[in-house]
Structure 1
Amino acid sequence: MTVYLSILLFYGVMTVIGFVSMWRDKRQAKQRAWRTPEATLLTIAFLGGALGTLLAMQLVRHKTRTAKFQLFVPLAILLHATVWILWLRS
């Protein structure tokens, strides 16, 4: 497996984890059950799941009014994109 395929697979898995984590937290919020801590959701986003997190924010309408998520999720996407652009150009 090439490095690029491994990276693509990693981001694919993290995107799914980010989406499912947000969707599950939204469902738990509706049921007033135990919730996933915001720090955990943001950590998943910064570890590569930001795309899935952002998708869930829009599709599931979860955490869209929370300032931390409005700022840090797009920032995580920008950070990862910048790192990969710089790495690919070197």
Structure 2
Amino acid sequence: MIVVLAYLAVINLVGFGLMGSDKSRARKGGRRRVPEKRLFLIAAAGGALGVWVAMRSFRHKTQHRSFVVGIPAILAVQVLAGLYLFDLVRAG
């Protein structure tokens, strides 16, 4: 359980950091931006909360429908899956 929580902490920090980095690079002229596919991959790998918090904090990708809808949808699925797994472990 500790390993899973550590993984989630790291992947969410990575997601948050990548969004912040992409916002900074966008302000500086768009060189070597973080690909949107990579941001979605990090979100799907468990970092949706970090990506979503970064979207709100940095006001980044908030005009992109795929992010405004997709990231919260991924986060909702992850939260529901986490609650389900937690319930299984607790019952178990």
Instruction: Please give the TM-score of this superposition, normalised by the length of structure 2.
Output: 0.89
2:38 alignment partner AA: T
2:51 alignment partner AA: T
What is the CA-CA distance between 1:88 and the residue it aligns to? Answer: 2.2
The count of residues paired between Structure 1 and Structure 2 equals: 87
Other-structure match for 2:10: 13
Runs of 4 or more off by more than 6 Å in structure 1? Answer: none
User: Residues 41-78 of structure 1, C-alpha deviation per residue, up to 9 Å, x if partnerless?
Assistant: 11111111111111111111100111010111111111
What is the CA-CA distance between 1:89 and the residue it aligns to? Answer: 2.2
Is 2:48 aligned against 1:26?
no
What is the CA-CA distance between 1:29 and the residue it aligns to? Answer: 0.6
Q: Aligned equivalents of 1:42 and 1:75: distance in 2?
A: 11
When the two chains are superposed, the root-mean-square deviation of aligned CA atoms in Å is: 0.9
User: What is the aligned-residue identity percentage?
Assistant: 31
Q: Which runs of 5+ in 2 are unaligned?
A: none
What is the CA-CA distance between 1:81 and the residue it aligns to? Answer: 1.1
Q: Aligned equivalents of 2:26 and 2:52: distance in 1?
A: 18
Q: Aligned equivalents of 1:47 and 1:55: distance in 2?
A: 16
